Structure formats: C-alpha cells, structure tokens
C-alpha cells in the first residue's frame, strides 16, 4: 500500500515502511538539515549526554538537532515525528499529553504530535478530521519536510528533488 498526494507546494507519501528504510535509502533528505523532534517512541525525546554534547537541545518538550551530518547518529525508535528545516527553527511548546487536539490551539506555539494517533494516515476516510487539523498545524509551521514514523511512514516535503529520489528508492522496497 502506497498512497501519494499533494497539499499546497508539498508532496506527500504514506506507506508501510519505517524511518530506517528512509534513512538507509535516501539519507540526503535529512543531511544538512535541522530536525525538530516532537515524538520519539510516542513521547518527548529525552536527550542523553552524548546527544547533548553534540549540540542537541531540548526546549518545552521538543528536541532540536544540530545540523545533521550523519544519519547513523540520529535517535529514533518508532512513533517518531520530525520536522526538518534548512535553518534552526523554534516550534514553541509540545502540547501536554492527554490534551485534546480538537480543543487545542494549532500552529506555531503549541505542537501536537499526530504520529501518535494509531493508524493516522492522510488517505483514510476515518482520519479526515485529524488530517484537517494536521494540515492546519502544518501550514503554520511550514517546514521543508515532515516525517512521521508510526503505523505508516508519512513523508511530506517541499523538496521536489529529494522527494522524487524518495519515491524512486522506496518504491524499490516491498511494502511490509
């Protein structure tokens, strides 16, 4: 199952892959970028001493990377959510766990990790309300790329060159 589409100037792809597949086959999508991690293993990324020593920071529940030079050093589990930028960017504050996304303030300032909604996918009719809220938040943030690794691997990107490489390379890997 692979689903693709577009939103504004962004293209998206949802499929049964994982972040490790993406980083192994198309590392250039994150190399040279700055990552804001809003979810790692369904919660905030708790930085270890090695990550802190290499320039990672944590502010208001969101972890921020230094410029990515090596994908092998990136902390990842599953149910990870990353926003990628060309320059450092502050997303604001991670919404408190248990806060209802349907009652929250969406956009820069309070961030909801959508990857933690089980089975969340743009193409699923039952997720229509969540997808609408995702795009509302996304349109306020406007990252270069979004990566959500939950039950599906979701990639949204304005980088047409790297997105085309992603489609080609991940297309050669069988869906699970």
pLDDT at 155 over 50: yes
Structure letter (DSSP) for residue 43: B
The residue assigned the tokens 């490489």 is: 165
Q: Could you please report the per-residue DSSP string of 46-80?
A: ---HHHHHTT-EEETTEEE--S---GGGS---SSE
Q: 101 pLDDT band (50/70/90 cuts)?
A: confident
- Tell me the C-alpha distance between 118 and 116, whole Å: 6
Please tell me the pTM assigned to this model: 0.93
Mean pLDDT lowest among 8-17, 80-89, 105-114, 154-163: 105-114
Question: Of the segments 8-12, 105-109, 171-175, which one has the largest average pLDDT value?
Answer: 8-12
pLDDT at 97 over 90: no
Domain segments of the chain: what residues? Answer: 2-171
- Tell me the C-alpha distance between 64 and 61, whole Å: 10
């Amino acid at each position: 199952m692979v689903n693709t589409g577009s939103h504004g100037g962004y293209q998206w792809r949802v499929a049964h892959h994982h972040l490790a597949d993406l980083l192994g086959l198309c590392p250039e999508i994150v190399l040279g970028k700055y990552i804001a991690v809003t979810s790692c293993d369904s919660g905030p990324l708790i930085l270890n001493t090695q990550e802190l020593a290499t320039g990672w920071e944590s502010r208001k529940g969101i972890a921020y990377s230094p410029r990515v030079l090596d994908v092998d050093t990136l902390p990842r589990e599953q149910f990870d959510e990353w926003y990628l930028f060309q320059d450092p960017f502050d997303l604001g504050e991670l919404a408190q766990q248990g806060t209802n996304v349907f009652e929250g303030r969406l956009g820069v300032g309070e961030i909801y990790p959508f990857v933690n909604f089980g089975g969340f996918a743009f193409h699923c009719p039952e997720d229509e309300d969540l997808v609408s809220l995702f795009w509302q938040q996304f349109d306020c943030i406007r990252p270069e790329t979004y990566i959500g690794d939950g039950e599906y691997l979701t990639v949204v990107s304005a980088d047409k060159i790297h997105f085309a490489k992603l489609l080609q390379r991940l297309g050669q890997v069988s869906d699970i």
